[in-house]
Each structure stands twice: as structure tokens, then as C-alpha cells.
Amino acid sequence: MMRSWKSLRGAMIALGCALGLTAALAAPAHAQKKYKIFLSLSYSGNAWQSEAANIVKALAATPPYDKMVDLREVISGTDVQAQISAYQSMIDAGAQGIISFPVSPTGLNRIIKRGCAKGVLFFMYDATVTEPCAYNVSYITAGFGENTAQALVNELGGKGKIFLSRGVPGNSVDKRHTDGAMSIFKKYPGIKIVAEYYGMWSDQTTQSETAKALAAHPDVDGIWAQAGEDGAIKALLATGQKKLIPVTGENSNGFRLALANPDYQARGLKGVSSGSPPATAGYAFKLMMEKLTGKRDLKVHNIQYPLPWVPASAVKLCTSDKFENGCNTFPEGKVPDSFVTEVFQPTLLPELSLVTAQEGKPTPGATIQPLPAEVVAAPDTPGINCSHCNPPANLYPLTKVQPTVQP
């Protein structure tokens, strides 16, 4: 008995030593000096995140970066401490640049500050942090909420009942979008929000929640949605009613195809596809590389990415795997409905094609093109990209549409 118990302990110790030795011996040998870049994700397992990560990986493998960049991906999950720990490990491992989707706008600030002091560049894409030394590259300040709200109000002629399909409760991006939208809706007394629910940025949840709301309010006139809007469309279609209504949302392929569908249009589906572009990650990566290689001196820390804006009339199907002729949607069957289409940006990111977003591989024959010299600075938004700061007087300016109806 004693012997077997002791030997079990001994076996564990031996196993541990073996593990340790192999891990130590498995250290990679460095061929030539490459920039050590880490791609730090928090969430995973949804189309937006994997497309954004793929874009970064593809760009890192596109010449000449393929010889210059040693990219490693780390996924830490939704626990902010796990991402703090990951940042610590990356800083200790000698990272020169960390490109990341931060899980919290405020909780990572201390470790980022420590990293900046050591000379590490932090570039955040889409989600932002309020730490001043980090660089935020995002569309958040470009006004998704207020612009889509005004577009919906315009379609409804200034009055009607609407649903508000939000994202995740307690999340600052959801709050910014909704606050922007509410600033518009409040101006019109004829607009009534009859249902407000959280679709959790998921097509399935949005579909269930919209179905529940439709059952209670079958006479709704319009839907303002954040990501997951394709679920709202499916819920509308499932009611079996002939009449469809205006819907504004983000940029899933299914939504854009629905907007362009002549049958749905005839039944009353109108709207705009806007929302968060995964291509932001590519822009952030190229900015970081240009700064690292000394080609750019980036003084601005909060950089705004242009807000996608595709009304139903502007939906254009891509005929190949490349983004040519201003196309912005993929034919049915080429990608799943939940595919997030804004993975292209011909001006800023000509190196992208469908394969970069889907597989993380570089476009054959592409090389990295220099970015345009100017960057658009994002306005100070407390809680999003700065903490002790004052927002501009008009925090929700309309940039894409103008009101066609007066309150």
C-alpha cells in the first residue's frame, strides 16, 4: 500500500520533470530578428472575432511583413484577469507590439501603462481602452447609433412604433450605440419604443427575442438593431405576414442579401446596413507596423475608422473572391448568413480578399501597400477612449444622413 502510494507520487513528480524538460527544450531557435507581435483576443467563437483575427494573421503573412513579423495569437476568454495575465506574459516575453481586442475598457489600464513604460506598443481594434498611452482604432465614435436611428426615423416619416434590439447589457459599446440612437428618437414624439430587448449580438438570441416582441406587438413599424439583425429579419419572415418593415442593423451577409431581395423590398423591407467592420483590425495592424518600422509618427492616439454605410439600394454582390467594383456583399451560399461582410476597405486595405477573412491566408500576389498619410482623430468620449476628459458639445453628430422629417 505504502509503496504504491509513494510510487504514484513519484510518478507524478517524474511526469512533471519530463514535461518541464520538453517544454524547455522546445524553445524555438531564432533565425533572424523579427518584430515580436502578439495578437491578443478575448472573445472567440463568433464570426466577427475570427474574421478580424484572420485579417491580422493574413496581413502578417503578406510580403514584406511575412519576413518581418513573428505573430502569435493568444485567446484569453471573457475573464479580464486572464487578459491581464496574458498581457503580463507578453510583456515579459519581450513583445514589441500587442494588437488586441480588449475585454474591458478600463480594467486593463494598469498593465497597459506598465507595458508602455517598457516601450511596448498597444493597438486596440474595435473595442477601446481609456488608457492614454494605448492606441485605439475603432468605428465606435463614428456614430453608428445616431446615424442608423435617423435613417430609420426618415423611413418612418417621423412616427411609428419601433423595437430596440440591443447588445449585451452592461457593455460600454452597447451603451454608446443606444445612447446615440436615443438622442435621435427622443426628438420625435411620434416615435414610440414599444419593446427594448437584448439580442446579445447573436443571431439566434436576436431571433428569439424579436419573435417574443413580435408576438406581443405584431403591428410594429420598424426595428433598430445592433449586431444580430439577421435574426430580426428571420423572425419577421417567420411570422408569415406579407408586410415587412424597415430595419436598420449591422453588416451580416444575410441582412444585406435580404435588403437587396426584390421580393422583400416589394413587401416593405427597407433600411441601412452599417455597424462594426472586422477590417478595423487590419487597419490597426498596418498602423502599428508603420509606427514600429518608423514610417509613421503617430501622434493621435484615438483613431476613427470610417463607418460603413450601405442602404438597400447600394448593396452590390461580389462576383469573385476579391473586392472589386465597389462590391460589398457576397452571393447566397458563398458564405453563411452570419458572415460579417465588412472585411474590405479598398482605400486603406487593398490587400484583403475573401480568403484573408475566411482563412487568415494572404491574398495571392498581394503586397502591403502604404496607408494614406492622414488619420481621422476620434472625438474624446468618456468611458470609451478616455476617462478624465470632456466630450465635445455635440457628442452625436449626424454624418451619414440628414433628417428628412422635422420633429
Partner 1 sequence: MSATGTLPVARRPGGASTRRLLANGTFNVFVVYVLLFVILMIKQPDTLSAFGVTDLFNNALPLALAAAGGGLVVLTRGFDLSVAGVIALTNVLIATALPDGPWGAVLAVAIAGGAGLVVGAVNGYLVAYVRLQSIASTLATMIVCSGVALLVLDAPGGQVPDAVVYGFSGVLPGNVPVSAVVALVVVLLWLALRRTDWGVAIYAIGADETAAALAGIPVRRAKFFTYCLAGILYGFAGLMLSAVTATGNPNGGTTYLLLMFAAIAIGGTAFSGGRGGVIGSMIGAATLTLLQKVLFSAGVSSFYTGIFQGLVMILAVVIGAITARLAEGRAR
Partner 2 sequence: MSGLDTARIATSPDERRTRRPRIGSDAWTVIGLFAVTIVMILASRLISPSFGSWDQARAILVLTSFVMVIAFGQQSVILLGGLDLSVGSMMTLGGILTFSWIGGSGSALIWGIPAVLLVTGLVGAVNGLGVTFFRVPPFIMTLAMGIIIYSVALGITGGTPSGQAVPALGWLFSHRLFGIPWVILLMALFAVLGTIFQQATPFGRRLYAIGTSPEAAAIAGMPVRRIVILTYAISGAAAGLAGILMVGYSGGATLTMGDSYLLPSIAAVVIGGTSIVGGRGLYAGAIAGAFLLTTLSTVISSIGIAQGWRTIIYGLVILVALVLLREELSLWFLRLRSRGGR
In the complex, the residues that contact partner 1 under the rule CB under 8 A are 1-2, 4-5, 8-9, 12-13, 16-17, 19-20, 23-24, 26-28, 41, 44, 72-82, 84-86, 88-89, 92-93, 104-110, 114, 168-172, 174-175, 383, 387
CA 342 vs. chain centroid, Å, equals: 10
Contacts of 20 (CB under 8 A, 6+ apart): none
Tell me the closest approach of the beta carbon of residue 42 to partner 1, in angstroms: 11
Q: Which amino acid, residue 211? A: A
| Residue 88 interface partner, choices partner 2, partner 1, none, CB cut-off 5-8 Å depending on type | partner 1
| Residue 78 interface partner, choices partner 2, partner 1, none, CB cut-off 5-8 Å depending on type | partner 1
Does 143 bind partner 2 (CB under 8 A)? Our answer is: no
| Residue 175 interface partner, choices partner 1, partner 2, none, CB cut-off 5-8 Å depending on type | partner 1
Among 204, 313, 325, 367, binds partner 2 (CB under 8 A): 204
C-alpha span between 341 and 352 (Å, rounded): 12
Cβ atoms 188, 222 nearer than 8 A:
no
Does 365 bind partner 2 (CB under 8 A)? Our answer is: no
Give me the sheet containing 160-166, strands edge to edge.
191-198, 160-166, 222-225, 247-249, 271-273, 310-311
> Which of 184, 178, 169, 180 lies closest to 142 in space, CA to CA?
180
Tell me the closest approach of the beta carbon of residue 48 to partner 2, in angstroms: 9
* Residue 365 backbone phi and psi in degrees, to 5: 85, -5
Among 119, 169, 262, 364, binds partner 2 (CB under 8 A): 169
- How many residues at the interface with partner 2, by CB under 8 A? 42
CB nearer to partner 2: pick between 206 and 304: 206
Does 189 bind partner 2 (CB under 8 A)? Our answer is: no
C-alpha span between 168 and 78 (Å, rounded): 13
Among 176, 177, 234, 256, binds partner 2 (CB under 8 A): 234
| Residue 19 interface partner, choices partner 2, partner 1, none, CB cut-off 5-8 Å depending on type | partner 1
| Residue 1 interface partner, choices partner 1, partner 2, none, CB cut-off 5-8 Å depending on type | partner 1
C-alpha span between 395 and 403 (Å, rounded): 17
| Residue 117 interface partner, choices partner 1, partner 2, none, CB cut-off 5-8 Å depending on type | none
Contacts of 81 (CB under 8 A, 6+ apart): none
Q: Which stretch binds partner 2 (CB under 8 A): 242-250, 275-283, 309-317, 336-344?
A: 336-344
Taking 3-state DSSP, the helix, strand and coil percentages for the chain, each rounded to the nearest 5, stand at 40, 15, 45
Among 219, 243, 392, 399, binds partner 2 (CB under 8 A): 219
With H, G, I as helix, E, B as strand and everything else as coil, classify residue 122.
strand
| Residue 13 interface partner, choices partner 2, partner 1, none, CB cut-off 5-8 Å depending on type | partner 1
Does 224 bind partner 2 (CB under 8 A)? Our answer is: no
DSSP 88: H
The alpha carbon dihedral of 343, 59, 74, 92 has a sign of negative
Q: Which amino acid, residue 108? A: L
The alpha carbon dihedral of 327, 43, 227, 275 has a sign of negative
CA torsion, ordered 215, 221, 224, 227, to nearest 10 deg: 50
CB nearer to partner 1: pick between 16 and 218: 16
Among 42, 130, 138, 207, binds partner 2 (CB under 8 A): 207
Three-class HEC string of 212-230: HHHHHCCCCCEEEECCCHH
Cβ atoms 329, 256 nearer than 8 A:
yes
Tell me the closest approach of the beta carbon of residue 358 to partner 1, in angstroms: 17
Does 276 bind partner 2 (CB under 8 A)? Our answer is: no
Q: Which stretch binds partner 2 (CB under 8 A): 91-99, 200-208, 361-369, 388-396?
A: 200-208
Contacts of 76 (CB under 8 A, 6+ apart): 40, 41, 42, 82, 83, 85, 86, 103
Does 208 bind partner 2 (CB under 8 A)? Our answer is: yes
Tell me the closest approach of the beta carbon of residue 85 to partner 2, in angstroms: 18
Residues lying near partner 2 in the complex (CB under 8 A) are found at 44-47, 49-51, 53, 169, 193, 195-198, 200, 202-205, 207-209, 211-219, 231, 234, 238, 240, 333, 336-339, 358-359
